C-alpha cells in the first residue's frame, strides 16, 4: 500500500479529566506534607505507650503515602486506544495473521467441562477467517470427562458456528446466549433452527466443514504427561507445551495479567525486538501443510511429555517463565525487557468475559495466591526495579511495584484497624483535636481521596453500592489474604514452605448462587481468614461501644471527649460500617452462608481479651 494511502489501525487519545486528576493528586500531596509535619512537631514526650503507638501510626501513614505515590505515577499520563476494526481488512485484505487461542482448565469438579465447552465454542465463533484460527485446550487435569466433552463440542460446532452467523448471536457462548435470548416468533423456519441448536477438528483438512460447507477452526486437545519426579509447572508448563490498564499504556505498556491477551509468537518465543522488525503476513498466515493429522498427532506427543522442556530455554527465556505463582506477570515483564511493547485495549463491546469465585473464602484464597506470587517476584532476581534497569522506562518499573507490594499493605492496614481502636479504649489520642487546624489535612486527604475514587467508580458505570462493596473487599483482602500471603512468602524464603498453586473453584450450589444474586456475601465455612476478619470486626464494635459510653456517661466531659478523640471515633464508625455484612453473618443470618458458630465464639473471645488487656 502506498505510504500516502496509509491509515492507522487505531488512535491514541488522552483520558478525559487528566488535568483534574493531577490537580487533586497535587493537593493530596500537599495535605500529606502537612500530616508529616504534624507527626514530627507533635511527637509525644511522655508515656512509653503513647510514643510507640505514635511511631507505629506514623510509619503506617508513611507506607500508605509511598504506596499512593506508586499508584499515582502509573496513572499520571493515562491514555486509551480507539481501534478502527474496519480498516484491518482494508490494509491486509485477505492476508490476516493466523491466531492461536489457548484455553486452560484443570480439575473437572472445580472447572466443569460444560463451562470449558462453552468457552471453546465461543472463541470458535469469533468473527475471523476460520482457516486462520486455531484453538488449543490445555487440560492440566488430564480428565477423560473433559476430553469427551470436547469431542461433543467439536461435533456441535458444525451446527453452532453457522447458527451464530445466521442469527448474529451475541454472546457466542451457547449457555450465556440461551440464558438471555428469547425465542424468535415471526419466522417458523428460524424457530425450527433456533430450537434445533438449544441443547476434534483439523483445520488443514478440506473435509473439516460445518453443515453449510464453511471451513472450521482447528481445535486441539492436549493433556501433559505427569510423573512425581518431574514438575509439570502447572498452567505455565502446559502453555509452553503448546507454543487490563490505561495508565500503564502510556509509560511502556500494561503487564500481562493471564488472560484476555494476545501475543506475537516471536515475542512469546523469546525473540528480542528489533527496530527493523517487519512481519510478512502472507508467509506467516500460510497454514497449509502436507503432513497428515495423524503424523502431527504423533509429533505433538513429544510436546505432551513431562520432559519436553528439559535442557532447553523453555520456561527460562522462552514462553511462560517457570517457578512463580504469577507466571503471567513475570512472563510479561520478560517480554517487555526484550524490547517489545504492550498496549491496553478496552473496546465498548467486551472482548472477553470470565468467571470468578462467588464465595468470599474462594475469593480470598485466589487473592492470597496472587499476592504471594507478586511478592515472590519482587523479592527475586526478576524484581522490576533491578531486572528492568536500562531495559524498560523507570515509570514502568515503578508501575509494577504497586502489584508486587500488594501483600506488604497488610501490616499498615492491620495497624490502622487495630491500634486506634484499642488506644481509644485506653484513652490515648493519636490524631489532632477537632478544634485544632491540624485536623484539616487529615480530613482533606481522607475525604478527597475516597470521593475521587467514588467518582471514578461511577464514571466507569458502577453504582454507589458497588463502590461500598469494593471498599469492603479492599479491607477484607488487606487484613486476611494479604497477611497470609506475606506470611507464606516469608516461610518460603526461610525454606519452611514450598511453591503451592491452589486452584479456586468456579462453581457453587444453587442456594449459594441465589444468595450471590441477592448480593449477600457468602461466608459459610471455617477458616483462619474468617477468624481474623470476625475478630477485627468485633474489636472495632467494642471500641465504638466504648467511645459511646464515654460520650453518654461523662455528660460534663462529652464535648471534650469528642474534641479529643473525634477522628478516632469516626474511624471506628467507618470500620463498623464497612463490617456490617460481617455482623449480619455473625448474628442475624440463618442461611448456610452465615458465619459458623465456632467463628462467632472465637471472635468474641479474642476481641474481649484484647480489649481487657488494653485497659489494664
The set of catalytic residues is: 140, 328
Q: How far is CA 121 from the centre of its chain?
A: 24
Calpha distance 127→2 (Å, rounded): 28
CB 342 within 8 A of CB 396: no
> Scanning the structure block, which residue is given the C-alpha cell 479456586?
504
Q: Exposure string (b/e) for 306-315, b if CB count within 10 Å is 16 or more?
A: bebbeeeebb
The dihedral sign for the CA sequence 530, 531, 536, 539: positive
Instruction: List the strands of the sheet with 99-105, edge to edge.
Output: 99-105, 133-139, 218-222
Q: What backbone phi and psi angles, to 5 degrees, belong to 223?
A: -125, 120
Contacts of residue 103, Cβ cutoff 8 Å, sequence gap at least 6: 116, 119, 120, 123, 135, 136, 137, 138
Calpha distance 292→535 (Å, rounded): 64
Q: Residue 581: which of 509, 528, 519 has the closest Cα?
A: 519
CB 407 within 8 A of CB 371: yes
The grid cell for 259 is 488472560
CB 329 within 8 A of CB 268: no
What residues pair up with 219 in beta bridges, in sequence order? 135
CB 478 within 8 A of CB 400: no
Calpha distance 175→146 (Å, rounded): 17
CB 464 within 8 A of CB 458: yes
Q: What backbone phi and psi angles, to 5 degrees, belong to 173?
A: -80, 125
Longest dimension (CA), the chain: 94
Q: Exposure string (b/e) for 552-581, b if CB count within 10 Å is 16 or more?
A: eeeeeeeeebbbbbbbbbbbbeebbebbeb
DSSP state of 313: S
The grid cell for 216 is 472450521
CB 326 within 8 A of CB 334: no
The grid cell for 306 is 513431562
Calpha distance 430→384 (Å, rounded): 36
Amino acid at each position: 500500500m502506498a505510504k500516502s494511502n496509509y491509515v492507522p489501525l487505531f488512535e491514541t487519545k488522552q483520558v478525559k479529566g487528566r488535568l483534574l486528576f493531577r490537580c487533586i493528586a497535587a493537593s493530596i500531596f500537599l495535605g500529606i506534607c502537612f500530616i508529616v509535619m504534624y507527626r514530627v512537631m507533635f511527637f509525644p514526650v511522655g508515656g512509653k505507650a503513647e510514643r510507640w503507638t505514635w511511631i507505629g501510626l506514623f510509619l503506617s501513614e508513611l507506607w500508605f503515602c509511598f504506596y499512593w505515590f506508586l499508584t499515582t505515577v502509573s496513572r499520571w499520563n493515562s491514555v486509551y486506544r480507539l481501534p478502527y476494526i474496519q480498516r484491518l481488512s482494508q490494509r491486509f485484505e485477505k492476508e490476516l495473521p493466523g491466531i492461536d487461542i489457548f484455553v486452560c482448565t484443570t480439575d473437572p469438579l472445580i472447572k466443569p467441562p460444560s463451562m470449558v465447552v462453552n468457552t471453546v465454542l465461543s472463541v470458535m465463533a469469533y468473527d475471523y477467517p476460520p482457516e486462520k484460527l486455531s484453538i488449543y485446550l490445555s487440560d492440566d487435569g488430564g480428565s477423560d470427562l473433559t476430553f469427551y466433552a470436547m469431542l461433543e463440542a467439536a461435533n456441535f460446532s458444525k451446527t453452532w458456528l453457522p447458527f451464530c452467523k445466521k442469527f448474529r448471536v451475541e454472546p457466542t457462548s451457547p449457555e450465556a446466549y440461551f440464558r438471555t435470548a428469547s425465542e424468535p416468533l415471526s419466522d417458523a423456519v428460524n424457530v425450527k433452527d433456533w430450537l434445533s441448536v438449544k441443547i476434534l477438528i483439523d483445520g488443514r483438512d478440506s473435509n473439516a466443514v460445518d453443515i453449510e460447507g464453511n471451513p472450521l477452526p482447528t481445535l486441539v486437545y492436549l493433556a501433559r504427561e505427569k510423573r512425581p519426579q518431574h514438575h509439570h509447572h502447572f498452567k505455565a508448563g502446559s502453555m509452553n507445551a503448546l507454543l487490563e490498564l490505561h495508565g500503564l499504556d502510556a509509560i511502556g505498556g500494561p503487564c500481562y495479567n493471564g488472560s484476555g491477551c494476545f501475543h506475537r509468537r516471536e515475542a512469546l518465543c523469546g525473540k528480542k525486538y528489533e527496530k527493523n522488525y517487519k512481519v510478512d503476513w502472507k508467509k506467516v498466515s500460510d497454514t497449509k501443510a502436507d503432513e497428515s493429522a495423524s503424523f502431527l498427532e504423533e509429533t505433538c506427543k513429544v510436546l505432551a511429555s513431562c520432559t519436553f522442556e528439559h535442557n532447553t530455554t523453555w520456561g527460562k527465556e522462552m514462553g511462560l517463565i517457570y517457578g512463580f505463582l504469577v507466571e503471567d506477570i513475570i512472563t510479561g515483564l520478560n517480554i517487555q525487557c526484550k524490547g517489545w511493547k504492550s498496549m491496553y485495549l478496552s473496546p465498548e463491546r467486551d472482548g472477553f468475559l470470565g468467571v470468578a469465585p462467588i464465595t468470599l473464602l474462594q475469593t480470598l484464597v485466589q487473592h492470597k495466591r496472587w499476592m504471594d506470587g507478586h511478592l515472590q517476584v519482587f523479592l527475586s532476581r526478576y524484581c522490576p526495579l533491578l531486572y528492568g534497569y536500562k531495559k524498560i522506562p523507570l515509570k514502568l518499573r515503578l508501575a509494577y511495584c504497586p502489584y508486587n507490594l500488594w501483600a506488604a499493605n497488610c501490616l499498615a492496614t492491620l495497624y490502622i484497624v487495630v491500634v486506634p481502636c484499642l488506644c481509644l479504649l485506653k484513652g490515648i489520642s493519636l490524631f489532632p483535636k477537632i478544634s485544632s487546624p491540624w485536623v484539616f489535612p487529615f480530613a482533606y486527604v481522607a475525604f478527597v481521596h475516597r470521593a475521587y475514587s467514588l467518582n471514578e467508580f461511577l464514571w466507569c458505570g458502577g453504582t454507589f453500592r458497588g463502590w461500598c462493596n469494593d471498599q469492603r473487599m479492599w479491607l477484607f483482602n488487606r487484613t486476611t489474604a494479604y497477611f497470609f500471603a506475606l506470611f507464606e512468602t516469608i516461610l518460603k524464603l526461610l525454606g519452611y514452605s514450598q511453591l503451592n498453586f491452589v486452584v479456586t473453584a468456579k462453581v457453587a450450589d444453587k442456594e449459594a448462587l441465589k444468595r450471590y444474586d441477592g448480593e449477600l456475601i457468602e461466608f459459610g465455612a471455617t477458616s483462619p481468614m474468617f477468624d481474623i476478619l470476625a475478630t477485627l470486626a468485633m474489636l472495632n464494635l467494642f471500641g465504638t461501644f466504648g467511645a459511646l459510653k464515654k460520650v453518654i456517661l461523662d455528660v460534663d466531659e462529652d464535648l471534650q471527649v469528642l474534641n479529643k478523640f473525634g477522628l478516632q471515633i469516626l474511624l471506628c464508625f467507618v470500620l463498623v460500617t464497612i463490617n456490617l455484612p460481617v455482623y449480619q453473618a455473625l448474628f442475624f443470618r440463618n442461611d448456610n452462608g452465615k458465619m459458623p458458630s465456632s467463628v462467632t465464639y472465637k471472635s468474641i473471645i479474642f476481641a474481649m481479651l484484647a480489649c481487657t488487656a488494653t485497659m489494664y
